[in-house]
A and B are shown apart, each in its own frame.
Chain A
Amino acid sequence: ETGVTQSPTHLIKTRGQQVTLRCSSQSGHNTVSWYQQALGQGPQFIFQYYREEENGRGNFPPRFSGLQFPNYSSELNVNALELDDSALYLCASSLSGDPTGELFFGEGSRLTVL
């Protein structure tokens, strides 16, 4: 519906493993942001990518890393998974300079770490 697609939708990993989540942004959007949403909490900003470069980071450790590609799609990588990394990971695309400030979210990737 928003034009933002994420994969996979659900996945289960074990502690210490690594995971890669993917996001295709809405057509024409050049900025991608990643958020982590734990159960019962609001989304927390992980980082943002603009023109393939990280453009701001929240309070997350370096084992959370990302990439943005020339077509503006993006990946979120998490190394050395911990139990507390279990959450819904949301990707949001936007157009830099859009005065409305609206973010368009994908449906998320639900990660469970056992």
Chain B
Amino acid sequence: RKEVEQDPGPFNVPEGATVAFNCTYSNSASQSFFWYRQDCRKEPKLLMSVYSSGNEDGRFTAQLNRASQYISLLIRDSKLSDSATYLCVVNRGSGNTGKLIFGQGTTLQVKP
């Protein structure tokens, strides 16, 4: 079993749709959580950190449920430019240790 599991998709949605991605992690000692975005043949870039209280950044909302070891990302009003692979990421340590564990990624394709 992988330490971080995601549905690889692809998710094909029309512009303006709301789409949600889920992720589960197996190591209960995990300390911090992130969503990274990776465009085709490019490097991953931090989209947002994920906190137990939930956090929102514009059209993006991330939630963490430590009891269920579950992380989610909600994208509202999808844009064509949101098409990318979204990587769920867990840091086993605290602070910035750089030893991030990545999920397989969920591919989103937003259609006109």
Residues in A lying within 8 Å of B, measured CB to CB? 2, 31, 33, 35, 40-45, 48, 56, 58, 90, 92, 94-103, 105-108
Q: Tell me, rounded to whole Å, the shortest Cβ–Cβ distance linking B52 to chain A.
A: 15
Q: Tell me, rounded to whole Å, the shortest Cβ–Cβ distance linking B53 to chain A.
A: 16
* Closest residue on chain B to residue A6 by CB atoms: B43
Residues of A within 8 A of B8 (CB): 40
Inter-subunit contact B96/A43 (CB<8 Å): no
Q: Given A42-B87, A42-B105, A90-B43, A103 and B95 touching (CB < 8 A)?
A: no
What would be 22 A-B contacts, judged by CB atoms less than 8 Å apart? A33-B98, A33-B99, A35-B102, A40-B104, A41-B104, A42-B4, A42-B87, A42-B102, A42-B105, A43-B102, A48-B98, A56-B98, A56-B99, A92-B98, A97-B95, A99-B96, A100-B46, A100-B96, A101-B49, A101-B95, A101-B100, A105-B43
Beyond contacts A101-B95, A102-B46, A103-B100: 15 other A-B pairs, Cβ-Cβ < 8 A, are A2-B45, A40-B8, A43-B100, A44-B102, A45-B99, A45-B100, A48-B99, A56-B99, A94-B98, A97-B95, A100-B96, A101-B91, A103-B98, A106-B43, A107-B43
Residues of B within 8 A of A100 (CB): 46, 49, 96
Residues of B within 8 A of A95 (CB): 96
* Closest residue on chain A to residue B104 by CB atoms: A42
Residues of chain B at interface, number, CB under 8 A? 23
Inter-subunit contact A48/B97 (CB<8 Å): yes
> Residue A56 contacts which of B46, B97, B102 (CB distance < 8 angstroms)?
B97
Q: Does B72 contact A (CB under 8 A)?
A: no
Residues in B lying within 8 Å of A, measured CB to CB? 4, 8, 32, 34, 42-46, 49, 87, 91, 95-105
Q: Tell me, rounded to whole Å, the shortest Cβ–Cβ distance linking B77 to chain A.
A: 25
Q: Tell me, rounded to whole Å, the shortest Cβ–Cβ distance linking A18 to chain B.
A: 25
Q: What is the bound-complex CA distance between A39 and B81, given in angstroms?
A: 22
